Amino acid sequence: MNITSDIKYLGVNDHEIDLFEGMYEVPKGMAYNSYAILDEKIAIIDTVDVEFKEQWLSMVRQVLGERKPDYLIVQHMEPDHSANILSLVTCYPEIILVATAKAFQMMKNYFGTEFTDKRRIVTDGDTLALGNHNLTFIAAPMVHWPEVMVTYDAQDKVLFTADAFGKFGANDVKDEWVHEARRYYFGIVGKYGLFVQKLFQKINDFEIQKICPLHGPILSENIGYYLDLYNKWSSYEPEEEDGIIIAYTSVYGNTKKAALLLAQKLKEKGCEKIIVHDLARCDMTEAVADAFRFNKLVLATTTYNAELFPFMREFISSLTERNFCNRKIGFIENGGWAPIAAKLMRERLEKCNDVSFAENTVRILSAMNKENVAQMDALVEELV
Ligand code: FEO
């Protein structure tokens, strides 16, 4: 597939994978992208997952024909992109590897060698001339690992963005980009918003006509839409105002009833954007992405072993370790004799920056009563 007349797509679709990075459900598979720039010199950008070694090498041979690659640009060392470095070097022993110093240290960990006889260490702003295509490397540490860099081709105005602007899902499955890109971003890169913002400052002046990530489709239209979304996500701004996520756990159904009643009352008050997640049964990575999508969050759970119910504990940890901030939070707690869930949830979330808490908490003693309904009505008034 041609991305431009000189830039070719060398990616693969993985429909066998069950969990990406060992934890993210990917029902629509996963794409591992790789690229070749054919000029007076030939550069390959990144490799693909180890399972696709033969398929990928065959594509490389097909695209290059009799020619040999001069450079392998390694933007990111996570194995979904780096697994075939050694295989390519074995096929083309004269190839030069281009990467950051940290990437070469990681190569030693993975392959037992830093390729000292065939390495070119680059730092922020370094360039590589292929002929007509002059590449600039931009250090992007912690987007998503410390060795990451992205690559700008000034000739075709293409930005190769490593994991940034990637998404879950294979490229031969049609879906809505934003949904799986949001889940991917907040699942995998979300903790490092500050570093994504730093990258944005560096690429601000670049004219970008195409974005080539290491996962998901090549983005070639409406680039401003994608840049705006990433800017919002990485600055932890809600993607949409006036939306409310209700995330609950329920042991015997009473907390669930409360969560659903809250959703109904909010709708009756005209709140249109409400998403309810049962944390024990939903894909929690969806719930995490949604929590960052809207500006308000209500958590409903029970006290369990004098602690929070386990799925709620996990959910809150997933938020706080990703720098959850800048949101309004309300609580529904349930407990048969000594409910402390609201206190425990608040203690965990108080460490987050710029969060505010609803003054009204719904405090259920086993099952909703009239007093709880009044508490909920007060909470609804605060939220809308
Ligand atoms: Fe797609 Fe951080 O690897």
Provide DSSP, 299-366: EEEEEETTEE-HHHHHHHHHHHTTT--S-EEEEEEE-SS---HHHHHHHHHTTSTT-EE-S--EEESS
Structure tokens at 198: 């730093």
Nearest CA to ligand 1 atom 1: 163
Q: Report domain 7-234's class.
A: alpha beta
Q: How many Å lie between the centroid of ligand 1 and the Cα of residue 336?
A: 45
pLDDT range class, residue 275, cuts 50, 70, 90 = very high
CA of 252 to the centre of ligand 1 (A): 40
**Cβ atoms 361, 379 nearer than 8 A:** yes
Mean pLDDT rounded to a whole number for the chain = 97
**Core vs surface per residue 97-112: b (16+ CB within 10 A) or e:** bbbbebbbebbeeeee
CA distances from 198 to 122, 183, 185, 331 (A): 18, 21, 16, 35
Task: Indicate whether 20 pLDDT > 90.
Answer: yes
Q: Structure pTM?
A: 0.95
Instruction: Name which residue sits closest to atom 3 of ligand 1, judged by CA.
Output: 78
pLDDT of res. 280? 98
The domain spans of the chain are: 7-234, 244-383
Please, is 312 exposed, middle or buried when counting C-beta atoms within 10 Å of its C-beta (0-12, 13-18, 19+)?
Answer: buried
Kindly provide the b/e burial profile for residues 191-221, where b requires at least 16 CB atoms within 10 angstroms of the residue's own CB.
Answer: ebbebbebbeebbeeeebebbbbbbbbbbee
Pocket of ligand 1 (CB under 6 A): 76, 78, 80-81, 144-145, 163, 214-215
CATH of 244-383, one of 3.40.190.90, 3.40.50.1110, 3.40.50.360, 3.40.50.1580: 3.40.50.360
Q: How confident is the model at residue 291 (pLDDT cuts 50, 70, 90)?
A: very high
Q: Per-residue pLDDT tens for 69-120?
A: 999 999 999 999 999 999 999 999 999 999 999 999 999 999 999 999 999 9
Q: For ligand 1, what atom is nearest to the CA of residue 162?
A: 1
Atom of ligand 1 nearest to the CA of 144: 2
Please report which helix (H) or strand (E) contains residue 31, including its range.
Answer: strand 30-32
In the predicted structure, residue 314 carries a pLDDT above the cut 90:
yes
As a whole number of angstroms, the distance between CA 262 and CA 250 comes to 14
Cα of 292 to ligand 1 centre, how many Å? 21
Q: Is residue 241's pLDDT more than 90?
A: no
Ligand 1 atom, smallest distance to 214 CA: 1
Give 46-68 pLDDT, tens digit per residue.
999 999 999 999 999 999 999 99
Give 289's contacts (C-beta < 8 A, 6+ positions apart).
Answer: 182, 183, 185, 186, 187
Question: How large is the average pLDDT for residues 186-212?
Answer: 96
Distance 144 CA to ligand 1 centre (A): 7
Q: How confident is the model at residue 1 (pLDDT cuts 50, 70, 90)?
A: confident
> Of ligand 1's atoms, which has the minimum distance to the CA of residue 148?
2
CA 247 – ligand 1 centroid, Å: 28
How much distance in Å is there from the Cα of 168 to the middle of ligand 1? 11
Counting atoms of ligand 1 from 1, which one is nearest the CA of 166? 1
Atom of ligand 1 nearest to the CA of 145: 2
CA of 40 to the centre of ligand 1 (A): 30
pLDDT 10s digits, 329-372: 999 999 999 899 999 999 999 999 999 999 999 999 999 999 99
